[in-house]
Amino acid sequence: MSTVSLKKSGSGFLLKYGDVKLALDTGIKGETTLLTHSHSDHIGGLKNAQHIIATKGTFETWQARRTDSFSNKTIIKHDDMFGQIGVNITALNAGHVLGSTMFLLEFHDGLKVLYTGDFNNVDSLVHRAAKPVETDVLITEATYGTPQWVFPKRKVVYEDILETATRMMEEERIPLFHAYSLGKSQEAITLLQSGGFSVISGNTSIDKVCSVYQQHGFDLQHQTLQSHNLTKSLDEGAVIVSSSSRHTIDNLKRTLGSKVFAQYEAKLEYFNLSGWTLGKFRERGFPLSAHSDFNGLLKFASEVNPRVAYCFTENGRALSKHLSDNGIHAVPLE
Ligand SMILES: [Zn+2]
């Protein structure tokens, strides 16, 4: 059995095993790319890719926010397998954003490799948790790969967000929740909607991604900044979900005029929805993350039970050490 070679390339990696070469979350001339999802840190150089394999959700959330498209693509469904010379490729739910995928690679000599991309191993209101499968090699993200990143239960985070939104309404303030346009915004809108709040999305990029989620059956009933009854909603008590507060403010100013906007601006209260609100960064907000936390990463790796784990992202070195301490041979990918 030869060994797996992994080399950093652009926003991802080039994996080589025997005669098989695959680009993971990056575009490399002449190679096939396995694209786990369409967040901007996973899509470098895709125009170079010879062929892209991803889910419908990944291609659609990509195209919702960009003008380029791909001619040579294969749409794969979760739990379906795509065979090419030397390897069978199965897409598995990653629980991170719509369509997000982990790739299980089964080489013809029997070697199994799991590439997680970004993943979340707990259920959210909009995404199902990623489930581990046993493989020989695990290539895992390590975003929250140190012990300071242990998140409270999602239910508790949800309750805290709703409680704050309620308090803001009572105090006649306008809460603005900052969340990434793909994935987190849709979770925040679903949560706030379920709490009975009138939700306004603050950016067209959120609106575009929401329309893809709606096509996939999600019930998102937010208003946009273009809604004709915007001031009525704000006066009656609404919450804003924004992926860029600067753009949201510019757009509100343009829509309402500077004078009217100034009355609302004075009422705005900003909150971040991110794992980084914990620990050393201590931003004002709530630790709502689309990634597994430290304990989640350890638990997932131990259930995959690999002979070797490769850890990527900036905490790769730290997570490798913790996995090794837990009896899993692990190496950072740098
Ligand atoms: Zn991501």
Ligand 1: centre distance to CA 2 (Å): 31
Pairing assessment for the beta strands 174-178 and 32-34 based on DSSP bridges: unpaired
Ligand 1: centre distance to CA 118 (Å): 5
pLDDT number for residue 87: 97
pLDDT band at 269 (very low <50, low <70, confident <90, very high): very high
Ligand 1: centre distance to CA 203 (Å): 19
Ligand 1: centre distance to CA 168 (Å): 30
Ligand 1: centre distance to CA 146 (Å): 18
pLDDT number for residue 28: 96
Average pLDDT over residues 216-228: 94
**For the chain, what is the mean pLDDT?**
95
Domains along the chain with CATH numbers: 5-148+290-332 (3.60.15.10), 154-286 (3.40.50)
Reduced 3-state DSSP string for 34-97: ECCCCCHHHCCCHHHECEEEECHHHHHHHHHHCCCCCCCEEECCCCCEEEECCEEEEEEECCCC
Helices (H), the chain: 56-65, 154-170, 184-194, 204-215, 230-236, 245-256, 258-265, 294-304, 316-325
283 pLDDT exceeds 80? Answer: no
101 pLDDT exceeds 80? Answer: yes
Average pLDDT over residues 72-77: 96
Ligand 1: centre distance to CA 15 (Å): 20
Ligand 1: centre distance to CA 41 (Å): 7
319 pLDDT exceeds 90? Answer: yes
Ligand 1: centre distance to CA 259 (Å): 38
pLDDT band at 3 (very low <50, low <70, confident <90, very high): confident
**How large is the C-alpha radius of gyration of the chain?**
21
pLDDT band at 282 (very low <50, low <70, confident <90, very high): low
Give the integer Cα–Cα distance in Å for 189 and 195.
Answer: 10
pLDDT number for residue 334: 83
pLDDT band at 76 (very low <50, low <70, confident <90, very high): very high
Across the beta sheet with 330-332, what order do the strands follow? 81-84, 87-93, 101-107, 112-115, 137-141, 308-312, 330-332
231 pLDDT exceeds 70? Answer: yes
Average pLDDT over residues 204-220: 97
pLDDT number for residue 281: 59
Average pLDDT over residues 78-96: 96
Ligand 1: centre distance to CA 98 (Å): 10
228 pLDDT exceeds 90? Answer: no
